[in-house]
Structure 1
Amino acid sequence: MENCFFSDPCFQLPRKGFIIAQQLYRIYMKVTAINGSPNAAGNTAYALNQAGLSLREEGIDFEMIHVGNKPVHGCTGCCRCFEKRDGRCVFADDIVNEVLPVLKASDGIILGSPVYYSGIAGAMKSFLDRTFFVSGANGNYFRHKVGASVAAVRRSGGTMTFNSLNMYLSISEMLIASSNYWNVIHGNEPAEAAEDTEGVQVMHVLGKNIAWMLKMKEATKELVAEPEATGKIFTNFIR
């Protein structure tokens, strides 16, 4: 019966799908998460790790980089990264240039931040401004990577922070993964997020969806042509 199934021309597409599925398990893929919290082992890290558990279950490598407790220069808009186009920021004395090649080599990126005044934590904001600006100056190498955002909050402001993080992904033409609710987890003291059972599930589902998107992207790359990159048009509304 098995031989009949695979020899029937009507079932050649499922058979190809089966072969592709086998090949995917032999392809190395990695997701890097950025922990923008000052606390290396707080609720933001917990949320990111829950997504990471699901990714590892799906055969995707997962790494978390902590940037939230380090001094990070804010972007001054000097545009030296556009002049030099060497994949680096002009400020060479903080973590940005160290992390940039890691993110460039990753298949997926998750941004995580606690909520500060209904927004992204300061060091994380500076890190993202410069990181995504350098990417844009060097051919937008985040383009079509799978991306997601996670916010950790005590009470409110989570969705605003979540939306702010997603702005970096959407302007970079990244493929944004979602979950079964907005990617926000609640807790004040470290480890309290574990009590937010719905939030924990959201992170697990997010990890599964990221893994699925990565595998679908890999499985279809030779079947569906990637859209060509277009030159950016800049509009000045003041004439």
Structure 2
Amino acid sequence: MKTVAFNASARKGGNTSVMLKAALAPIEAAGIETELIELGAKPLQGCIACYKCFERKDGKCAVKMDAMNEHIAKMIEADAIILGSPTYFADVSSNMKSLIDRAGLVTRANGNLLNRKVGAGVAVARRAGSIQTLNSINLFFQISGMIVPGSTYWSVGFGLQPGDTENDTEGLATMQDLGVNVAWLLKKTVDQD
């Protein structure tokens, strides 16, 4: 079993990364392989609506100028996907939006490749807007036919400066609980031959 997490913050190792690592820790402790992918500040092209993915049906996006096809392959390979985004103007970052749009279209064009995978969202905000960020991520999971576990609170963290979320004890506890639930769900749903 494998869980892959994507950090859509421009700040590698920043607040979103702190929250994602907190969610991944109990998954890894449960013996499930984890990987954290930091998208960083390098932009991902948005979907250009060419629909080549529907014509080719090769599990890839026709736009080759960035690492999107590597990210899509990681999503297809994983049993669980955690998407983390900072809150920019009450929604996901542009890189998260590009990931959602392009991965969503490619996987739907190729037979709903994310169907029944586990999906968990993580949002980080300075103060407000995080629920819309979380909703955008969860709506992607739902339209992809994924299973979305909850936690003991909405999976959001609060902080502005890098490292601020390390002091968000409630947010870190929520991430811990989210990770426990992802691991439990994986062990209940993934066929282990």
TM bin (shorter chain): over 0.9
Unpaired runs of at least 5, structure 1: 1-28, 223-239
For 1:88, which of 60, 67, 89 is the aligned residue? 60
**1:160 match:** 132
Contact 1:52 1:62 in 2 (8 A): yes
Cα RMSD, aligned residues only: 1.3
Give the Cα separation in 2 of the matches to 1:198 and 1:177.
Answer: 18
Unpaired runs of at least 5, structure 2: none
* TM-score, structure 1 as length reference: 0.78
Q: State the shift of 1:68 in Å.
A: 3.9
Contact 2:79 2:190 in 1 (8 A): no
Give the Cα separation in 2 of the matches to 1:96 and 1:148.
Answer: 20
For 2:76, the aligned partner's letter is: K
For 1:174, the aligned partner's letter is: M
Q: State the shift of 1:187 in Å.
A: 0.6
**1:31 match:** 3
Aligned partner of residue 175 in structure 1, secondary structure: coil
* TM-score, structure 2 as length reference: 0.97
Aligned partner of residue 176 in structure 1, secondary structure: coil
Give the Cα separation in 1 of the matches to 2:63 and 2:98.
Answer: 12
Give the Cα separation in 1 of the matches to 2:35 and 2:62.
Answer: 26
Give the Cα separation in 2 of the matches to 1:129 and 1:116.
Answer: 17
Q: Which has the larger radius of gyration?
A: 1
Equivalent residues in 2 for 1:1-239 (5 A)? 29-218=1-190
Question: Higher relative contact order by CA 8 Å / sep ≥ 6: 1 or 2?
Answer: 2
Q: State the shift of 1:120 in Å.
A: 0.5
Q: Give aligned-pair identity as a percent.
A: 42
Contact 1:68 1:124 in 2 (8 A): no
Contact 2:4 2:34 in 1 (8 A): yes
Q: State the shift of 1:162 in Å.
A: 0.4
User: Which stretches of structure 1, 4 residues or longer, exceed 4 Å deviation after superposition?
Assistant: none
Aligned partner of residue 86 in structure 2, secondary structure: strand
Q: State the shift of 1:30 in Å.
A: 0.7
